[in-house]
Amino acid sequence: MSGRPFRPGRSALAELSIDDVAARAGVHRSTVSRAFSRPEAVNEATRQHILEVAASLGYRMSPLAQALRRKASNLVPLIVPDITNPFYGELAKTMSAAAAEKGYQLVLCVTGGEVAQTNAYLTALQGMYAPFGIVAPSTSVDLDELENVALGSKVVVVDRVDEARVPTVTVDSAEGIALAVDHLRGLGHRRIAYVSGISGTYTSRDRLAAYEGLAAELEMPAMILDAGAGPEVGERAAERFVEMTAGERPTAVIAANDMVAFAFISALGARGVSVPDEVSVMGFDGLELGSRFNPRLTTVRQPIADMGFIAIDLAEKLLEDGEARHVTLAPDLLIRASTAEAPR
């Protein structure tokens, strides 16, 4: 027989258990369990021996099994409505980095915008002893529904909720719209329109209200090209734009988010309208894609990279003292090629 150490094949690896490690290491199975889940309860030399044996066998204890034994885990759900929207992709990327730095493992959960699916994820993760959850909703979060879910009282919402009873982190939408309007007026634009494209959220209402309030304050006509939602919003807004007479058309348009701005600019281009020569267009998000779009998108940038760290910090503070804190971040302006001086 060969003197080579035992190396289980693929099928053997699938059948390895804690009992196999215990038998090879010459210890009780409970000692192996403690070596993985409660290392402080095992003599260091014994623990190192067990870990070496486990490594030689190719055994790894399941994180879920550890969580169930300890009734605690480092799994944190990030619940988003859609991963095709780059905003949620960028949020997940920064949130994952923030979670890893804090010793957590992020679990990405996609709901399709369904409140029931949000609740289902929170219930499932509660069963895995997640310490808290993070929700980035596309529609208003139903707080009463949330409180009926075990983990619902331990979530942070990335997007402010009216009268929120859970921690929230959001961006000052009103300040962002003011930055956009100031930038466009500085370029000589006086007919500035708005395209919504997001429906049912606090953010949507906040940005639209900010635009309408500024229009009234500046005695500027409030022109809503489209207040709906969905992938067709850019097409609808562009169709309305081209149907206007030259004297009616806005010289600049603010889109509720970058994705709407991209769709609107593309739809205008298909109709022979040049941006920014004939109309300036701004977005709101600051997605990386905007720097590669043609024309490069002028936009109000949200500090997406900060949101992940702040959300996790708020969650940890909630667990410490039960207080629901609310953080509002300041946006800034990214001036690129999609805005120019108003046409003469």
Mean pLDDT in residue range 90-96: 93
Question: Is the distance from CB of 258 to CB of 265 less than 8 angstroms?
Answer: no
> Mean pLDDT for the chain?
87
The pLDDT of residue 221 is 94
Could you give the count of Cα atoms lying within 13 Å of 252 in the half-sphere of its Cβ?
Answer: 28
| Whole-angstrom distance, CA of residue 264 vs CA of residue 237 | 7
| Whole-angstrom distance, CA of residue 264 vs CA of residue 83 | 21
| Whole-angstrom distance, CA of residue 184 vs CA of residue 176 | 13
Place of tokens 């304050």: 217
Residue 66 has pLDDT above 80, yes or no: no
| pTM for the structure as a whole | 0.81
Identify the structural domains of the chain with CATH numbers, from first to last.
Answer: 10-61 (1.10.260.40), 75-171+305-329 (3.40.50.2300), 173-302 (3.40.50.2300)
| Whole-angstrom distance, CA of residue 146 vs CA of residue 334 | 36
pLDDT digits (tens, 9 = 90+) for 115-147: 888 888 988 888 888 999 999 886 666 777 777
Question: Is the distance from CB of 288 to CB of 90 less than 8 angstroms?
Answer: yes
Question: Is the distance from CB of 277 to CB of 251 less than 8 angstroms?
Answer: no
Burial class of residue 26 (count of CB atoms within 10 Å of its CB; 0-12, 13-18, 19+): exposed
Contacting residues for 252 by C-beta, under 8 A, at least 6 apart: 184, 187, 189, 191, 192, 193, 279, 280, 281, 282, 339, 342
The pLDDT of residue 199 is 61
The pLDDT of residue 115 is 83
Burial class of residue 162 (count of CB atoms within 10 Å of its CB; 0-12, 13-18, 19+): exposed
The pLDDT of residue 162 is 65
Give residue 73's identity as a one-letter amino acid code. S
The pLDDT of residue 5 is 45
Vertex 101: Cα angle to 97 and 102 (nearest 5): 120
